[in-house]
Amino acid sequence: MTKQISACSIYDCQTCTHQKTGDCPGCLAGNTQLTCTDQGPCGVFSCVHSRGITSCEQCKEPGCVLRRTVETLCPVRSRFENIRWWAGRMSRAMECRKPGTVEGETHGKISTRVINRLRWYLTVLDSLAAEGTILVSSWQLAERVGINAALIRKDLSRFGEFGTPSSGYRVEVLTKHIRKILKLDEPNGIVWVGASCFRLHYPSIERLSKHACNVVGVFDICPEEIGARVGDYEVLPVEHLTEVVSRTGVRAAALAVSGAEAQSVADVLVALGVRAILNVGESLLVLPDSVKVRSFDMVGELLELCYYCEG
């Protein structure tokens, strides 16, 4: 008897009732039969078979987009499983979570992982709007974001029904809803500390203003940068932070300063009422739990990526 193999590792063949009753021919035999009848075999199986392995679990390729975006009904099992049941099972299997724990830290009732994915959906929607796209399906979003479409639908369904099964989502409407969920429907001010980093990202700053976020001031600790202009902004000394933050009431900041100065500037920002900081530097900040810090260390990211460079 042909050994039952789940090439995608989603199905547990040892406990599968279809295997016990002999209904399922297995990925190997099933996809071979499909090929003989001129039907397309499963994309995941074709990938696994070409690598000379038996399942995705044996694959060493990091971040496989193919498996994460598998959404079509398994051609081998489609004859005896309900489509809705299969899609639900796929959704549960594809969503990464640690056993026995909730999905990440929560902000209100929304987990941080969902908030992070909503931000990526908004990025893709901005690109689609710039291309003139009016309607987008969950599959199209999935291809661009790199996760499966069932997870996208699950994320969006937490907040209501924004699309229709036949036509998908209207880009403009979905963008509006996500902006509201992320609290971008009201003006938000941002202070930016680190002129060189701001100069590098200045061409993209316009996208912030599209979502009611405005940089109200650019600051630096380097004397050579003070007084320089980046677009419409004049670089101010950090000593002016108190006056600008107090006047504008901003609660978010981008901090692109390294070394001991990073912690001291961050402490000043927190004392002024800033509650969210993007830390673009190699320094690790120690701040109260009430302050949300998102850190990005480019050198550290490159050092981590070197792990995957070995062939």
pLDDT (0 to 100) of residue 73? 53
Establish if 2 belongs to a structural domain.
Answer: no
The tens digit of pLDDT for each residue in 149-160 reads 888 988 988 888
Q: 201 and 298: one domain? A: yes
Question: Is 274 contained in some domain?
Answer: yes
Inform me whether the pLDDT recorded for 28 exceeds 90: no
Range of the domain at 118: 106-181
Considering the domain boundaries, does residue 223 fall inside one? yes
Can you give the CATH number for the domain in which 295 is found?
3.40.50.720
Q: How many domains would you assign to the chain?
A: 3
Asked if residue 145 is part of any domain, the answer here is: yes
In what helix (H) or strand (E) does residue 308 lie, and over which residues does it extend? none
Among 181, 211, 227, which residue terminates a domain?
A: 181
Q: Nearest Cα to 267, choosing from 193, 195, 197?
A: 193
Average pLDDT over the chain reads: 81
Per-residue pLDDT, 193:
96
Regarding whether 25 and 54 lie in a shared domain, the answer is yes
Q: Which of 23, 31, 88 is nearest to 54 (CA)?
A: 31
pLDDT (tens digit per residue) in 63-119: 565 654 544 456 666 655 555 555 555 555 544 444 333 344 445 578 888 999 999
**Residue 242 resides in a domain:** yes
In a domain, 58, yes or no: yes
Question: Is residue 185 within 8 Å of residue 212, measured between CB atoms?
Answer: yes
Same-domain pairing of 197 and 259: yes
Q: Specify if 10 maps to a domain.
A: no
Q: The domain spanning residue 151 has which CATH number?
A: 1.10.10.10
Closest to 268 in 3D by CA, of 206, 163, 257: 257
Closest CA to 279 of 290, 291, 295, 257: 295
Which of the four pLDDT bands, split at 50, 70 and 90, describes residue 38?
low
The residue length of the chain stands at 311
According to the model, what pLDDT value does residue 64 have? 64
